[in-house]
């Protein structure tokens, strides 16, 4: 997912695959995220999650010295965190805030669709 503003994010609640967010500059080149902090907030009726890079292991700024991971932030919600998300079609909103000194930018932001699959017996 990129940092272009409103986004839809599908999360499988029984999975633990990470989600990568790519941050780019105005020329669409990977942004150097060195020294930046990221805050992920997820909110729904009756619940919320807040994760901060450098504090919570679930949100990680990838190695900015490597071309393949420059501009990337990985979110790896635990199975317990995913299980909190309502799968009944309720509105779930998210926002990733990029903090660079006194500058705070909120993008991407949008809605999460929490999906639960049924395994065949």
Kindly list the distances between the CA atom of residue 36 and the CA atoms of 18, 83, 109, 110, in Å, as whole numbers in the listed order: 20, 29, 18, 21
pLDDT in tens, 1-31: 656 678 899 999 888 899 999 999 889 999 9
The verdict on residue 120 lying in a domain is: no
The verdict on residue 121 lying in a domain is: no
CATH number of the domain at 59, please: 2.60.40.10
The verdict on residue 96 lying in a domain is: yes
Which residue, among 72, 94, 86, has the nearest Cα to 114 in the 3D structure?
86
Q: Which domain holds residue 45?
A: 6-115
The verdict on residue 1 lying in a domain is: no
Q: How many domains does the chain have?
A: 1
The verdict on residue 61 lying in a domain is: yes
State residue 102's pLDDT score: 85
The verdict on residue 56 lying in a domain is: yes
pLDDT in tens, 32-83: 999 999 999 999 999 999 999 999 999 999 999 999 999 999 999 999 999 9
- Omega of the bond leading into 93 within 30 degrees of 0 (cis): no
Interior CA angle at 18 toward 16 and 22, to 5°? 165
Query: What is the pTM (predicted TM-score) of this model?
Result: 0.87
The span from the CA of 121 to the CA of 45, in Å, is: 33
């Amino acid at each position: 997912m990129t940092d272009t503003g409103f986004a839809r994010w599908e999360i499988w609640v029984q999975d633990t695959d990470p989600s990568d967010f790519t941050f780019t500059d105005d020329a669409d080149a990977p942004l150097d995220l060195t020294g930046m902090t990221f805050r992920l907030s997820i909110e729904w009726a009756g619940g919320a999650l807040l994760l901060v890079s450098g504090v919570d292991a679930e949100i990680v700024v990838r190695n900015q010295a490597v071309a393949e991971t420059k501009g990337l932030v990985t979110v790896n919600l635990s199975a317990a965190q995913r299980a909190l998300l309502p799968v009944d079609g309720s509105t779930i909103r998210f926002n990733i805030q990029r903090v660079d000194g006194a500058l705070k930018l909120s993008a991407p932001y949008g809605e999460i669709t929490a999906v639960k699959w049924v395994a065949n017996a």
